[in-house]
Structure 1
Amino acid sequence: MTTDIHQYLAEFEDIPGTRVYTAARARMGYQLNQFAMSLMKPENRARWKADERAYLADWPLTDDQKQAVLDRDYNRLLDLGGNIYFLAKIFSTDGLSFVQAVSTMTGMSVEDYQAMMLAGGRSPEGVRSKKEQN
């Protein structure tokens, strides 16, 4: 194991299909996550549903973050610092369950995703490093 913290944290980026929520991601996504948490209040959900772009304009998000929110691209939102538990406020506002939203992140149908998870989740066999994919 390395003793250089930056090298150690960089190793997290080598995990295929996984985004480890690090302090760097938390800093990058602070405003994004604050926006998502704002949807806990009924009056904010009403404003959001009435005009998403206008509601987003009130938040200091990057253009990429705003577009990913509008596209409901949850994988991109994770890349941009979103925390899945905060992002859940967005898909809950859309009327989606956690299973429905997360299945879109895997490219699987809700039924296939649910069956996979009930069977124990993804197999630990296979590519364990992005470096191995090349």
Structure 2
Amino acid sequence: MGEDPSSDRIPDTPLFDRKRSLRGYRINKMAMGLGTPANREAFRENESAYLDRFGLTPEEKEAVMSRNWREMVRLGGNLFFILKISAVDPVRITEIGAHQAGMEHADFLRDRLGKK
């Protein structure tokens, strides 16, 4: 009681709240579509055209096409949904974690996961 709710926030980490969820509707709908084999094939064949089908903004398209995981989350992408993109590439989840933390992959493995 009487605690400051902002004390639960992690610095430099976007809070996935209702506002961000609504903001990320297009990017999340696009990512969920990648659960279908035909959509994965369309994504591989012409990524830009696939993204246009979902009405992504230029900012959202750039984040997806450059695989800027941090920006996708900032724009409202739910990590569980945008991970579907990594299944098409494929990208290891630890690489995404390193990108989110602003670290090199080897440093992330060593410093965050204790792997040598």
With the shorter chain as reference, the TM-score category is: 0.7 to 0.9
1:104 to 96, 99, 105: 99
Cα separation, 2, equivalents of 1:106 and 1:93: 22
2:32 to 23, 37, 45: 37
Give 2:50's aligned amino acid: Y
Cα separation, 2, equivalents of 1:64 and 1:117: 30
Report the equivalent of 2:75: 80
Per-residue deviation, residues 1-46 of structure 1 (Å, max 9, x unmatched): 48xxxxx6xx48x742211110111001011101011111111111
Cα separation, 2, equivalents of 1:36 and 1:116: 30
Give 2:31's aligned amino acid: A
Are 1:48 and 2:58 counterparts? Answer: no
Larger radius of gyration: 1
Are 1:63 and 2:58 counterparts? Answer: yes
TM-score (norm: length of structure 1): 0.74
Cα separation, 2, equivalents of 1:92 and 1:110: 18
TM-score (norm: length of structure 2): 0.84
> In the TM superposition, what are the counterparts of 1:108-123 in structure 2 within 5 Å?
108-119=103-114
Give 1:117's aligned amino acid: R
Per-residue deviation, residues 38-61 of structure 1 (Å, max 9, x unmatched): 111111111100110111111122
Cα separation, 2, equivalents of 1:91 and 1:37: 12
Give the match's secondary structure for 1:96.
Answer: coil
Which structure 2 segments of 5+ residues have no match? none
Which structure 1 segments of 5+ residues have no match? 3-7, 120-134
Give 1:84's aligned amino acid: L
Give the match's secondary structure for 1:18.
Answer: coil
CA RMSD of aligned residues (A): 2.1
How many residue pairs are counted as aligned between the two chains? 112
Per-residue deviation, residues 73-102 of structure 1 (Å, max 9, x unmatched): 111111111111111011221111111122
